[in-house]
Chains A and B, each alone.
Chain A
Amino acid sequence: MNAFKRDKKEEEDGGGNPFQNLEKTTVLQEARTFNDTPVHPRKCSHILTKILYLINQGEVLGMTEATETFFAMTKLFQSRDVVLRRLVYLAIKELSSIAEDVIIVTSSLTKDMTGKEDLYRAAAIRALCTITDGAMLAAIERYMKQAIVDKSPAVSSAALVSSLHLSSVSADVARRWANEAQEALNSDNVMVQYHALGVLYQARKQDKHAVIKLVAKLIRYNPKSPYAGCLLIRMVCKLLENSNEGGELLDFIECCLRHKSEMVVYEAAHALVNLNRSGTREIAAAISVLQLFCGSPKPALRFAAVRTLNKVAMTHPAAVTGCNLDLENLITDPNRSIATLAITTLLKTGAESSVDR
């Protein structure tokens, strides 16, 4: 009966899910096709997709199974098919934590990361860094430094992000590659800028004076990337939290309230109301921005604003009173989280006079 129901459902879906009834053992058997020469790119891509889908569904591969599949997959490096190659990288990353002796693909990946094809290079770097251990790090260090300053943004970002992941393998990776990251920080690409700043912070976060120097230089010409802007605000907050001086830093955050990206404006407002250093003036400026966001057509923005106001209301209820009208409008918001947050905020700020409305 159940099977019948499922069939019916599949028919309604228009043919059903071609991946629905996959059996792990059958799919892994099919992986033997990888050993055929010449390689059939389309057929092998399809099998790899099925393997990746099974892993994604939570199917657990044993160590022997994973290792066998991994070794079969290494044969696919003979093919020059782009989709297939990219799927191989993806599978290397997925299997690297289960299979044994994954370092055998090191030379293939190093070849791809230094090759001509940009589409391969970025993805190969990320795959290579997932199989790299402490002992292998020295061997790829030279290539990684080159990749960080590469003119292709995809390659540069891939290398920067991978070096952050590698910090768990060797703690001083970020510090050793900081010079290259410093150069990447000047990139025009917004993501490269963001990733480079992340690596530089990781390299210097133990040394407060180095962070102060980095921040002082950056706040003069606010980074173009909104993501880097948010990260910079967080770095500034961290400094302000542990020091008594830094009026300049507080001014910088206030200045970010006028940034052209909403993301940065919200980050700055959120920072100001949560810093115990900010005075009435800064809090008032932040609240007026949040008040504007309360009327935004975007639910995420209204949510962000009312959630932050809810927090300020606990410490500075008087400062939030000015937003009461806006908050009252949000009580009937279709998003229940927003409505609930608005009500609890009003409970803290509302007076008897507003109960009638």
Chain B
Amino acid sequence: MDGQLLEPTLYTVKGMAILDNDGNRILAKYYDKNIFPTSKEQKAFEKNLFNKTHRSNTEIIMLDGLTCVYRSNVDLYFYVMGSSHENELILMSVLNCLYDSVSQILRRNVEKRAVLDSLDIVMLAMDEICDGGIILDADAASVVQRVALRTDDIPLGEQTVAQVFQSAKEQLKWSLLK
């Protein structure tokens, strides 16, 4: 039974992805250069993964030699990928951490629009969960603490006004350019 025993290494996670309800990538990271080296292959895999998972909420699937665990909410799909020999429960703990961190960052409002509005913080959170394939932290509370960067410095009211202004400006710009 060669190859079934796992190599003692910290490199556990092959990839993480957040997709929208059309299967398009919102954010994705791949940590192993040997699987899906180009972004074309990555996106093809994501499409395939989405097609196989978006209708059933059953948490785990084997695809293209990878074990993928997933979770969804409203219009978002969260995935964590690992080798097919990996301990599924470790992958599951990473997925739960990713989901819970995003949920806490967005104040329980887990949907596409909210992720895009806080994209910078979500990117930072993904970076805090996994570093180059090694699980850096799997505790959502501690991840959020590391990225929820002292928001009390900025008065909440002012922050939202700035955000509203920014998105209004963006929309105006694009409607003029069309």
Contact = CB atoms under 8 A, between A and B. Distances in A.
Interface of A: 13-15, 17-19, 21, 42, 45-46, 48-49, 52-53, 56-58, 82-83, 86-87, 90, 93, 119, 122-123, 126, 154, 157-158, 161-162, 164-165, 191, 194-195, 198, 201, 205, 227, 230-231, 234-235, 237-238, 241, 262-263, 266-267, 270-271, 274-276, 298-301, 303-304, 307, 311, 315, 334-338
Contact of B87 (A45, A154, A241, A267): A267
A274 B58 CA distance: 27
Nearest to B63: A337
Contact of B89 (A46, A93, A262): A262
A311 B123 contact: no
Contacts of B170: 18
A300 B27 contact: no
5 contacts: A18-B171, A19-B116, A56-B27, A82-B150, A191-B135
A48 B39 CA distance: 21
A13 B74 CA distance: 12
A161 B60 contact: no
A123 B116 CA distance: 23
Contacts of A126: 131
B8 A334 contact: no
A301 B89 contact: yes
A217 to B, nearest CB: 16
Contacts of A205: 8
Contacts of B136: 157-158, 161, 191
A119 B149 CA distance: 8
Interface of B: 1, 4-10, 25, 27-29, 39-40, 42-43, 56, 58-62, 69, 87-93, 112-113, 116, 119-121, 123-124, 127, 131-132, 134-139, 146-147, 149-150, 162, 166-167, 170-171, 174
Contacts of B8: 201, 205, 231, 234-235, 238
A324 B162 CA distance: 62
B89 A198 contact: no
B142 to A, nearest CB: 8
Shortest 9 CB-CB distances between A and B: which pairs? Answer: A58-B39, A335-B58, A198-B10, A234-B8, A299-B59, A82-B149, A304-B88, A263-B89, A274-B4
Contacts of A42: 162, 166
Nearest to B29: A56
Contacts of A303: 59-60, 88
Contacts of B88: 266, 300-301, 303-304, 307
Nearest to B135: A227
Among the interface residues B10, B27, B132, which one has the most CB atoms of the partner chain A within 10 A?
B10
